[in-house]
Amino acid sequence: MSARDPGPVRLEGETDWKNAFSYHAFDVEVARAEGVFIHDTKGRAYIDASGGPMAVNLGHGDARVVDAIKRQLDAFAYVHPTLANRPRADLCDAIASVTPEGFNASYLVSGGSEAVETALKIARQYHVATGAPGKHKIISFRESYHGMTLATMALSGNPGTATIFDPMLPKWPKTQQYSEFRRPSHLSPEEWAADCADELERLVHYEGPSTIAAFIATPHGCGSEYGVVAPAAYWRRVREICTAYDILFIADEVVSGFGRTGAWFAMEHFGVTPDIITMAKGIASCYAPLGAVSVSDRVNKPFEEGTGFIHGFTYGGHPLACAAGVAVINAIKEDRLVEGARRKSERLFAQRERLLAHETVADVRGWGLFMVLELVEDKASRAYFGPNRQAETLFQSIALSNGLALYSTLYGSRRAGVARRGLPMWISPPLTITEDEIDTLLDRLDRTIGEWERALGVGA
Ligand code: PLP
């Protein structure tokens, strides 16, 4: 028995979270979830408007997934990947059925950060195995987000965390992303896209092409440009540069994969094929912790020919997570949710102008069932409220009082100085949402923004 005082016995239904490390939660305790609705212990229902952290692509409580996990649990819950486990093979097949042509091998992990870490190690080992051992740096976007492990934080470049963790992180080079907001008025989006992509080539030149292993990017922008869809010309030029300098192009599709943008993977919209795709979130729609890295046949070749991949996690390819993943992918196919996301997108974005009419909504952008609002204090400069206003927390709690559960972020008020741009607010409900439910979501969102502005004294 521990010498620690166990404290008062907790009554059933009473939770005070005091034993949870660094836990932040709103005062809503979840009892159950079904479809797009989350129900709390007090009988209130909330629309899961961001799909958790842009992750619940299939709605909650889908019997096909629940049954698949139960069936697997009845057979066996776990074996180490050194023993053959059918759900793992089935999941790799299911992934190959939806990834681009020439992507036939996947490595399974438990989430997005692990997927990105795995991709970095695959890239490094690929170059060592193919006779380019000097290639070790990974280029990413300034202000991007690829996870919370140390290596993924080294890619991420979030100014809020840099000062704390910087001494522990590799100093990999960063480039600028495509930004509509910073586009000079005399340039067309395509001309500006070419300029932004050429910046990558200049960086490669100064760093030395023989030192660069990979370039990683999210297809949907990041940080203050979250949800910005760059012209296809941008990604085509990036692809050319990566090919020219033998740099592996990693598309981080942890958020955008599995139908979110109206395609299985967002890079499809641009007609551009990366070398490595990282995925998580929607792959099992949070029914179980799951992530994967899919590689092109070219990247797989040295490993297929015998290069041992120095990697592995106890939970990689966990049978319960794999059973969930297979069932989710099958359900997305069966219910035609990818096509549905394209169709329902029109309903979602039809009310763009209504949202933009608010003084604090500087932009409404995105694609598929992935809409990002940029919330600001001042539309012209796109500056966000200072930290003392607690505007982000206020938005979340007003949204909850209106029956909307929204994902909160690390951006906005925590960014300082030149990076002090608007706060991205994600509207990314489960792809199973109906068109009527989209209208209800938007009504509640509109009301939330209005109440938030009044609480902050905007326009008063
Ligand atoms: N990559 C991207 C683009 C993400 O948005 C995230 C998480 O939000 C991650 C990686 C990390 O995923 P996880 O939180 O599952 O570790």
Q: What is the pLDDT of residues 33-62, one digit of tens each?
A: 999 999 999 999 999 999 999 999 999 999
Q: Is the pLDDT of residue 161 over 70?
A: no
Residue identifier of the C-alpha nearest atom 13 of ligand 1:
112
- Which residues neighbour 266 within 8 Å (Cβ) at sequence distance 6 or greater? 219, 220, 251, 253, 256, 257, 260, 367
What pLDDT is attached to residue 39? Answer: 98
What pLDDT is attached to residue 7? Answer: 44
Coil vs helix vs strand at 17: coil
Ligand 1 lined by 113 (C-beta under 6 Å): yes
Atom of ligand 1 nearest to the CA of 222: 3
* Cα 158 to ligand 1 centroid, rounded to whole Å: 14
What pLDDT is attached to residue 419? Answer: 57
Q: Is the pLDDT of residue 287 over 70?
A: yes
Let me know if 334 is exposed, middle or buried by CB neighbors in 10 A (0-12, 13-18, 19+): exposed
Coil vs helix vs strand at 147: coil
> What is the token pair recorded at 117?
């870490």
pLDDT in tens, 344-362: 999 999 999 999 999 999 9
Q: Lowest mean pLDDT of 1-5, 156-160, 370-374, name the range.
A: 1-5
Ligand 1 lined by 289 (C-beta under 6 Å): no
Residue identifier of the C-alpha nearest atom 2 of ligand 1:
146
Report d(CA 321, CA 207) in Å as an integer. Answer: 40
The CA distances from residue 279 to 55, 260, 341, in Å, are 11, 12, 18
Confidence grade of residue 1 (pLDDT, cut at 50, 70, 90): very low
Q: Is the pLDDT of residue 9 over 50?
A: no
Ligand 1 lined by 224 (C-beta under 6 Å): no
> What is the token pair recorded at 423?
């706060």
> What is the token pair recorded at 250?
């990693």
The CA distances from residue 395 to 37, 268, 272, in Å, are 19, 34, 37
Report d(CA 28, CA 48) in Å as an integer. Answer: 13
Atom of ligand 1 nearest to the CA of 55: 8
Confidence grade of residue 85 (pLDDT, cut at 50, 70, 90): very high
Ligand 1 lined by 255 (C-beta under 6 Å): yes
Q: What is the rounded average pLDDT for all residues in the chain?
A: 92
How confident is the model over 256-278, as a mean pLDDT? 98
Contact between residue 434 and residue 343 where contact means Cβ atoms under 8 Å apart: no
Report d(CA 196, CA 231) in Å as an integer. Answer: 11
What pLDDT is attached to residue 24? Answer: 62
What pLDDT is attached to residue 82? Answer: 85
**Helix locations, 63-149, DSSP H:** 63-75, 86-96, 112-129
* Cα 115 to ligand 1 centroid, rounded to whole Å: 9
Q: Is the pLDDT of residue 414 over 60?
A: no
Whose tokens are 């697997």? That residue is: 72
> What DSSP state is assigned to residue 24?
-
pLDDT in tens, 448-459: 999 999 999 997
What pLDDT is attached to residue 241? Answer: 98
What pLDDT is attached to residue 5? Answer: 44
What pLDDT is attached to residue 10? Answer: 43
Q: At what angle do helices 391-401 and 435-456 cross, to 10 degrees?
A: 130
Coil vs helix vs strand at 214: strand
How confident is the model over 119-126, as a mean pLDDT? 98
- Which residues neighbour 422 within 8 Å (Cβ) at sequence distance 6 or greater? 224, 362, 363, 374, 375, 376, 382, 383, 384, 412
Q: Is the pLDDT of residue 3 over 50?
A: no
pLDDT in tens, 21-33: 766 666 788 999 9
Ligand 1 lined by 119 (C-beta under 6 Å): no
